Structure 1
Amino acid sequence: MITKVHVVLRKEDIDETALADDKVAVVFDILLATSSITAALAAGARSVIPVYNAAEAEQVGRRLPDGSYELVGESEGRTIDGFYPPTPLFLQTVCPGKTVVLSTTNGTVALRKAMAARAVYAASLLNSPAVSEQISRSHKEETVIAICAGSSGRFCLEDFYGAGYFVHCLVERGIAAAELSDSAMAAWLFYRQYAGEEKAKDVLSASRVGRWMAAYGLEKEIDYINRHGALSVIPKLEPGALAAEVRDIVQMKMTKEGNER
């Protein structure tokens, strides 16, 4: 049985030394990166390469065959010039059969900062049940660290809610409440207060990033992201073919077929 579940509230609080001690990391950037990764893989993307910034994305692109990839990303909420926007519904129209090179301000940075862990997964409201099942099955004796990406050093309500939903899924699979750290317990209790897609929509829409998305007409993206357990994709960070050429480049690959509800 999993020995402990802990929630980290911001990517800036990641203890990479602690992660290297055989921890399992599960990263949440509900609005948008980990939801977009899940949706892209479910829609048929070959893989997703999370990068730190636009310059690294372009560096990676130069090493991929022409026509085999798409550059996707934002910086401080603005789509990077020459890149596609990293929104789930839009990505599904351009990513099938392609490698997605993804750069975001928070989510992809959190994934890369978590690389010291024994295993790194990307989770969202869309796929937390599938990820929790995978972890319960494959990481029975390990400590799980749920990492909220946050936003440029700030706590994000939606990531905390997503982590709480994930903790709830673990508890449903038999993880004892006694194994939850205080932060994990707090996230779980918060989720239980707003359980269900109708109440979750209120949380997402009330968050700072959710309000920003609504102001830019992205309500349908929020509705899509709010589909709890709709996808069975399990994105896991794995060394990519470019690792020998570009230091630390890794790819998100799905370990289970994705299905939409």
Structure 2
Amino acid sequence: MMTVTRPKLHVILQKEAIMPELINKDKVAVVFDILLATTTIATLLHHGAKEVIPVMDGEEALKVAGSFEESATIIAGESEGLTIEGFVDPLPTILKYVAKGKTIILSTTNGTVAIRHVENAKKVFAASLINGHAVARKIALEHVDDSIILICAGTMKQFSLEDFYGAGYFIDELLRQNESWELTDSAKAALYLYRGNKENAASILKTSLTGQMLMQVDLEEDILYSATRGIVEVVPEFEDGKMSVKGEKTIDY
């Protein structure tokens, strides 16, 4: 009797745990940095940004910016939670008003670095609570035979509660549409965390390490926005060094 091998769905708990040899053209990678990089990326593209270029640090951001007209770009970024001098705050509640038609060069401590660490995967998507449903739908339809690796960016080289919760939400949405994947223990744990706290998204985000840091500097609005599930339909996909959307609708002003 033949054994049917099902594609696997696995969660990596923080970007430092990524093993490059496992991120190859046979895997689809989905990156989560709920507070705030992947939420910001989805928001920018939803509000009409031309593209978002995720970079490793501020130095690379300035180098990349040299290839574009200044009027066509916005350079946004933080390092260890502090806005990089001369850069725009990388907050979704701020950037959404200036994103339309722009190339956004984005540097963050965790999320953009995580994206770059998995750029050799077959496909790389950015997911968050605000667009997790849309990303799950795309993967359920187009990548049913692929193994999926969910990467939690983490916080300052530590496990991140909100990213793990976001991965659990994504898994729940994915399984609602297609149950083809075999879940590893880390994927099951994320799913169970989410299903046990479906109505507690804002609380989970606020009590996380990053959430507490944001609360201390009066950024509760960004936390509450980031805790809202399924409000954005864009699917940010990384290709040729940039995040963009392929055919999804964006809003207009």
Instruction: Quickly name the TM-score band, shorter chain normalised.
Output: over 0.9
Aligned to 1:251: 242
Question: Aligned partners of 2:93 and 2:117: how far apart in 1?
Answer: 27
Superposition deviation, residue 56 in structure 1 = 0.4
Question: Aligned partners of 1:2 and 1:11: how far apart in 2?
Answer: 25
Superposition deviation, residue 210 in structure 1 = 0.3
Aligned to 2:112: 108
Aligned to 1:234: 235
Question: Aligned partners of 2:154 and 2:86: how far apart in 1?
Answer: 25
SS of 1:160's equivalent?
helix
SS of 1:163's equivalent?
helix
Q: What CA deviation, in whole Å up to 9, does each residue of 1:12-36 have, x standing for no partner?
A: 1112111115100000000000000
Superposition deviation, residue 258 in structure 1 = 3.8
Question: Aligned partners of 2:126 and 2:225: how far apart in 1?
Answer: 17
Question: Aligned partners of 1:133 and 1:21: how far apart in 2?
Answer: 21
Q: Give the unaligned 5+ runs of structure 2.
A: none
- Residues 135/2 of structure 1: CA separation in 2 closer, same or farther (3 Å cut): farther
Q: How many residues align?
A: 247
Show the 5 A alignment for 1:209-220: 209-220=210-221
Aligned to 2:51: 47
Q: Give the unaligned 5+ runs of structure 1.
A: 240-249
Superposition deviation, residue 204 in structure 1 = 0.4
Q: Which of 175, 190, 202 pairs up with 2:193?
A: 190
SS of 1:108's equivalent?
helix
Aligned to 2:126: 122
* Counterpart code for 2:46: A
Residue 97 of structure 2 is aligned to residue 93 of structure 1: yes
The TM-score normalised by the length of structure 2 is: 0.95
Superposition deviation, residue 2 in structure 1 = 6.8
SS of 1:67's equivalent?
helix
Aligned to 1:181: 184
The TM-score normalised by the length of structure 1 is: 0.92
Show the 5 A alignment for 1:159-178: 159-176=163-180
Question: Aligned partners of 2:227 and 2:155: how far apart in 1?
Answer: 19
Show the 5 A alignment for 1:196-211: 196=199, 199-211=200-212
Question: Aligned partners of 2:118 and 2:214: how far apart in 1?
Answer: 27
Question: Aligned partners of 2:221 and 2:251: how far apart in 1?
Answer: 19
Structure 1 runs (4+) greater than 3 angstroms displaced: none
SS of 2:96's equivalent?
helix
Sequence identity (%): 43
Question: Aligned partners of 1:109 and 1:215: how far apart in 2?
Answer: 25
* Counterpart code for 1:147: I
* Counterpart code for 1:17: E
* Counterpart code for 2:219: L
Cα RMSD (Å): 1.5
Question: Aligned partners of 1:21 and 1:70: how far apart in 2?
Answer: 32
Question: Aligned partners of 1:37 and 1:237: how far apart in 2?
Answer: 11
- Residues 17/75 of structure 1: CA separation in 2 closer, same or farther (3 Å cut): same
Is contact 1:122–1:236 with CA below 8 Å preserved after alignment? yes
Show the 5 A alignment for 1:7-46: 7-46=11-50
SS of 2:188's equivalent?
helix
Question: Aligned partners of 1:14 and 1:160: how far apart in 2?
Answer: 15
SS of 2:49's equivalent?
coil
Question: Aligned partners of 1:29 and 1:257: how far apart in 2?
Answer: 23
* Counterpart code for 1:214: M
Question: Aligned partners of 1:59 and 1:96: how far apart in 2?
Answer: 22
